[in-house]
Structure 1
């Protein structure tokens, strides 16, 4: 199999929040619906069985007016530490989000891994931009909840 680093988009972002505050935004389907996906997308979550092996069904509504049905399976969940899914519909990938406590908050490490280098390279530019926007939206959701508290 080809090395992970050659078929993955990896990035990180430091959030001024605790791992539990970040994880709360990742484990609550109502909150996930607010931040999941690139800028301009909204979401309808139909099923969110938040446990290893659980199913996640959602429709992403694009700013272009198109609907994008998605099916994923939760593969690994460790409270306040790891959120991992296998995306089953359309582009097949594994998304691993790790939360690492830092003195100033939480470093969110995001890695989206495709099956082959060729598949990843075809969509790498879009994936990089979309993942950066996703992290920005996650940060905004975490901050929104902190401001509301």
Structure 2
């Protein structure tokens, strides 16, 4: 408790290595969770605006791998590799994300999905190995804007699914 008597949220000791992005998506969390579990969905929305994704391997299970290339709007290809470290349907997905299986700069991300009425609050919490790697991701690769755009793409994709379902 603070001197004013109000509780102050405790800041993580690792806050200088972390990026946290959240968004409310107007759909049930089971649908939002499904959008992460099947490559046919991921390839339609994953990545910042203007990016596309080519999947080389995908197995959604703890220890499974998603090996893919993100193609930037400027023609640059980014090798990406994710291994799923924890899955608790439909509320939590944890992963290790890097450029390759043995990437020493790989970072941990945890996605949580909470019900918010008929909508879903999704939070993406990413922890980098060091403050320097976090700062590089934010400054050079625009990790915060890119993460916000990625969740925006997810929201738009799910809105399209919901709309098509309502038309059927």
The interval holding the TM-score normalised by the smaller chain is over 0.9
Q: TM-score, normalised by structure 2?
A: 0.83
Aligned to 2:7: none
Equivalent residue in structure 2 for 1:53, among 29, 49, 63 = 63
* TM-score between the two structures when normalised by the length of structure 1: 0.93
User: Corresponding residue for 2:127?
Assistant: 113
Tell me what 2:18 maps to.
8
Gaps of at least 5 residues in structure 1 are none
Unaligned runs of 5+ in 2: 1-11
2:84 equivalent to 1:74: yes
Query: Aligned equivalents of 1:70 and 1:54: distance in 2?
Result: 14
Question: SS state of the match for residue 111, structure 1?
Answer: strand
RMSD: 1.5
Pick aligned residue for 1:96 from 110, 117, 122: 110
Higher relative strand content:
1
1:19 aligns with 2:46: no
What is the match of residue 144 of structure 1? 160
Greater radius of gyration (CA): 2
CA displacement at 1:104 relative to structure 2: 4.1
Alpha-carbon separation, structure 2, partners of 1:88 and 1:68: 10
